[in-house]
Amino acid sequence: MSNETSLIMKRRFMGRILESGLLIIAVALGVGAAASGLSLMFHTKEYSQNLLNSAEYKEIVVTTRANVEDMTYPVVEKTPNTTTLTTADLKAGEIIDEVLYSYVVSSSHIRLVTEESTNMGFPREGGANPPQENANPENSNGSSSNEMQPGPPEGGDNMGQISEMLETFEDIKENPDYLVPEVEEIEGVEVTAQFFDAWGINAQDGSLFTSSDYTGSSNIIVLGSEMAKTLNTGNYNSVIGKKIVAWDKVYKVVGVLEETGSKYDNYYVTPKKEVSNSFFMRRFGDTQLRFYVDNVNQLDTTATQLSDWFTTQYGEGQVEISNPREEASKVVSRNNGISFLILFLSLAGLFIASVNVSNILMSRSLRMKKHVGILKALGASKKNILMIFVKEALLITSIGSVLGTFLALPLSITMEESLGLGDVSWVYIIIGVFMSSILTLIFSVLPARQSVDIEAAEAMRSAG
């Protein structure tokens, strides 16, 4: 296209700035809505895929009826418990073929010694009692079985080891061997070995537990990626080998987990000890046994098999078996439904916007009819003429699309947050903008084809 022809278009565009602006806004609204709708759909699909593939939704959870309140998924009735599940019951997983991993994940928390808590009475001198493997039975009698670490003990019986090592809290604070957290309590889980296999979690720093850690008496701890950052107030290069002082014992950090994107990033993990004492076994028996099934189609049948096994072991109605898949499917289908509805509405918006843009451009090109005739007489080919309109449509579409992208961002954030899909993905928005821009461009170029094909003589006869 010659420069002078571009000048004509530019001056016509600027001369009708209101109309041109309206066109751009229409494109921006259409593209913005459609891009966020498309982005939402892509994101929902990915989220659903990840959700259904995540280890969390491949676990069948077996729990005693008494402890159903610890379960995430709704349970219909509750009967007095007479049964206690133990790690020994994990052997059910070995019997059933479809179960790939069997493990225990018990939630727990650790109360840390902090500056604030020491002011309330950090025991400077204590007895010479050896550290206890588990909670002091006297202290734990009334508490839930998950609460393995009791709060600050009144008598300070358990503090022997700590107070022996540390005269004051200041000692810990200045000692680079210790992590001095600002939080009073950290949450985490006690797990058995196959947990890491099922979730596919590795250590990004240090190591995971060895088999002896599950039986030995060492107080070791592995930190989730986020928790490691939280506790590393001293900004050490690595937290491996550092010690954490809790009210009942001193933990040694042996590893930091790689980022998983799950709740475990903010958790610590300690090995679940195999308790040999039968009294503890009854009293603090594991509440939730987890059986990981890789083939999701087999979840239902495996759940039935597990149910049969536990019924044989403990009798009818003693354990509760939950299949998280159903819950996940509900979430997935709800999200799908909402995102499809929004996609439909936003595409309808794009369509209406595009038809209007197409209409206005049609009337613009009709007003250009005489120009087309003269341009042809002066030597413009059909292709030259078409390019004029394509350039105009491209200009309007691209400005509109850029504006639409900025419109799509807050829209997507709002929608995807409300559906709990996590962070908005720019890639999806860009793909959405791209797809809807192409559609708008096609709509914008269509009317130009009519103007291009008329004979120059006929075009020049029209007013304009």
Partner 1 sequence: MITLKNINKLYDLGEVKVNALKGIDLTINRGDYVSIMGPSGSGKSTLMHIMGILDTPTSGQYLLEDYDITSLPDRELARIRNKHFGFIFQSFNLFPELSALENVMLPLGYAGVTYSKRKDRAKELLAEVGLGHRMQHLPTMMSGGEQQRVAVARALANDPDLIIADEPTGNLPSDKGHEIMDILEKLNNKGVTVVMVTHNPEQGMRAKRTINIKDGLLHSDELNSKGGV
**Minimum Å distance from CB 8 to partner 1?**
5
Residues 10-39 touching partner 1, rule: CB under 8 A, are 11-12, 15
Separation in Å, CA 173 to CA 167, 169, 177, 184 = 12, 6, 9, 15
C-beta of residue 129 within 8 angstroms of C-beta of residue 160 = yes
* 231 makes contact with partner 1 (CB under 8 A): no
* CA angle (104, 108, 109) in 5-degree steps: 155
Q: How far is the CB of 20 from partner 1 (least distance, A)?
A: 14
User: Per CB under 8 A, does 449 bind partner 1?
Assistant: no
Q: Which is nearer to partner 1, 15 or 80 (CB)?
A: 15
Q: Does 373 bind partner 1 (CB under 8 A)?
A: yes
Choosing from 95, 374, 427, 438, the residue that interacts with partner 1 (CB under 8 A) is: 374
> Which span (116-124, 168-176, 375-383, 395-403) binds partner 1, by CB under 8 A?
375-383
Q: Which stretch binds partner 1 (CB under 8 A): 43-51, 131-139, 207-215, 454-462?
A: 454-462
Helix (H, G, I), strand (E, B) or coil at 208: coil
The residue within the footprint of partner 1, chosen from 293, 376, 415, 424 (CB under 8 A), is 376
Q: How far apart are CA 105 and CA 262, in angstroms?
A: 14
Which among 72-80, 131-139, 286-294, 366-374 is the span making contact with partner 1, rule CB under 8 A? 366-374
Which of 143, 277, 304, 381 binds partner 1 (CB under 8 A)? It is: 381
CB of residue 366 to partner 1, shortest distance in Å: 17
Tokens linked to 2: 């010659």
CB of 380 to partner 1, least distance (A): 6
Strands, DSSP E only, in 294-376?
Answer: 319-322
Backbone angles phi, psi at 252, to 5 degrees: -110, 130
Q: What are phi and psi of 380, to 5 degrees?
A: -80, 135
Question: DSSP label at 149?
Answer: S
Residue 9 or 352: the one with the smaller Cβ distance to partner 1 is 9
The candidate with the shortest Cα–Cα distance to 320, out of 38, 116, 66, is 66
364 scored as a contact of partner 1 (CB under 8 A): no
Q: Which of 370, 398, 425, 462 binds partner 1 (CB under 8 A)?
A: 370
Q: How far is CA 159 from CA 105, 164, 201, 418, in A?
A: 27, 8, 34, 47
Alpha carbon 154 to chain centroid distance? 41
Q: Which of 460, 429, 455 is nearest to 43 (CA)?
A: 429
User: Using the rule CB under 8 A, which residue among 292, 371, 412, 436 binds partner 1?
Assistant: 371
Q: Find the binder of partner 1 among 78, 91, 263, 383 (CB under 8 A).
A: 383
- Kindly state whether residue 2 participates in binding partner 1, applying the rule CB under 8 A: yes
> Of the candidates 7, 88, 345, 355, which one interacts with partner 1 according to CB under 8 A?
7
**What would the two tokens of residue 200 be?**
């596919």
DSSP-assigned letter for residue 221: E
283 counts as binding partner 1 under rule CB under 8 A? no
Within 46-65, which residues bind partner 1 (CB under 8 A)?
none
Q: Which H/E stretch holds residue 203?
A: strand 203-206
Of residues 7 and 345, the one with the C-beta less far from partner 1: 7
Total residues in contact with partner 1, by rule CB under 8 A: 28
Give the nearer residue to partner 1 in terms of CB position, either 252 or 370. 370
- 450 binds partner 1 per the rule CB under 8 A: no
Cα separation, 105 vs 288, in Å, equals 7
Q: In angstroms, what is the minimal distance from the CB of 363 to partner 1? A: 18
For residues 321 and 303, the answer to whether their CB atoms sit within 8 Å is: yes
The answer to the question of residue 5 lying near partner 1 (CB under 8 A) is: yes
366 binds partner 1 (CB under 8 A): no
> If you write DSSP's letter for every residue of 147-190 in order, what string do you get?
--S-SS-SS-GGGHHHHHH-SSHHHHHH-TTEE--S-SEEEEEE
To the nearest whole angstrom, how small is the minimum distance from the Cβ of residue 10 to partner 1? Answer: 8
Residue 378, token pair as written in the block: 């002066």
C-alpha–C-alpha distance, residues 300 and 283, integer Å: 31
Give residues in contact with partner 1 (CB under 8 A).
Answer: 1-5, 7-8, 11-12, 15, 370-371, 373-374, 376-384, 455-458, 460
